């Protein structure tokens, strides 16, 4: 577990803080990004084992970020979890088509987030 790096992309400071806190307690190294543009820049500057992204964000949403990451060297097979208030099947299908690995609907609880992350990257 030590050394597994996660990129948390969300325009909500409180959501980023809770992801960082919850996963940090489990020994993951979490880097925060405020939107898709910021997330993409951070992803290109470093290598992450997992990306957790909100869908509805300013500047670049999570669907666009997912597509951009899938087109970026080193991220073709990196797990990407969409974390969002969207639970309509068409949004989920759009996320999956863009390359999202999984979906967590907000509000989420710590055990669910930890369980999903451990299942995906150990």
* pLDDT in the model for residue 87: 75
Beta bridge partners of 50: 6
- CA 39 to chain CA centroid, Å, is 9
Chain segment 24-55, per-residue pLDDT in tens: 999 999 999 999 999 999 999 999 999 999 99
* pLDDT in the model for residue 58: 96
Q: Are 35 and 9 in contact (CB under 8 A)?
A: yes
Return the structure tokens found at 58. 């300013």
DSSP state of 104: E
Residues 6 or more apart whose CB falls under 8 angstroms from that of 69 comprise 40, 43, 51, 75, 78, 80, 99
| 51 sits in which H/E element | strand 50-53
Q: Answer yes or no: is pLDDT of 5 > 90.
A: yes
Q: Are 59 and 34 in contact (CB under 8 A)?
A: no
Chain segment 52-108, per-residue pLDDT in tens: 999 999 999 999 999 999 999 999 999 999 988 877 788 889 999 999 999 998 889
What's the rounded mean pLDDT across residues 1-26?
Answer: 93
Cα–Cα–Cα angle for 95, 37, 25, nearest 5°?
A: 75
Calculate the alpha carbon distances from 122 to 19, 24, 32, 104 in Å.
16, 14, 20, 17
* pLDDT in the model for residue 92: 85
Q: Answer yes or no: is pLDDT of 1 > 70.
A: no
């Amino acid at each position: 577990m030590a050394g597994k790096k996660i990129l948390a992309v969300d325009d909500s400071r409180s959501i980023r803080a809770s992801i960082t806190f919850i996963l940090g307690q489990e020994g993951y190294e979490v880097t925060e990004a405020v939107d898709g543009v910021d997330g993409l820049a951070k992803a290109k500057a470093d290598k992450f084992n997992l990306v957790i992204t909100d869908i509805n964000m300013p500047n670049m949403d999570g669907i666009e970020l997912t597509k951009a990451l899938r087109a970026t060297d080193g991220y073709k097979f990196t797990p990407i979890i969409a974390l969002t208030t969207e639970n309509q099947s068409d949004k989920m299908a759009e996320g999956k088509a863009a390359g999202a690995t999984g979906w967590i609907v907000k509000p989420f609880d710590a055990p669910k987030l930890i369980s999903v992350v451990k299942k995906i990257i150990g």
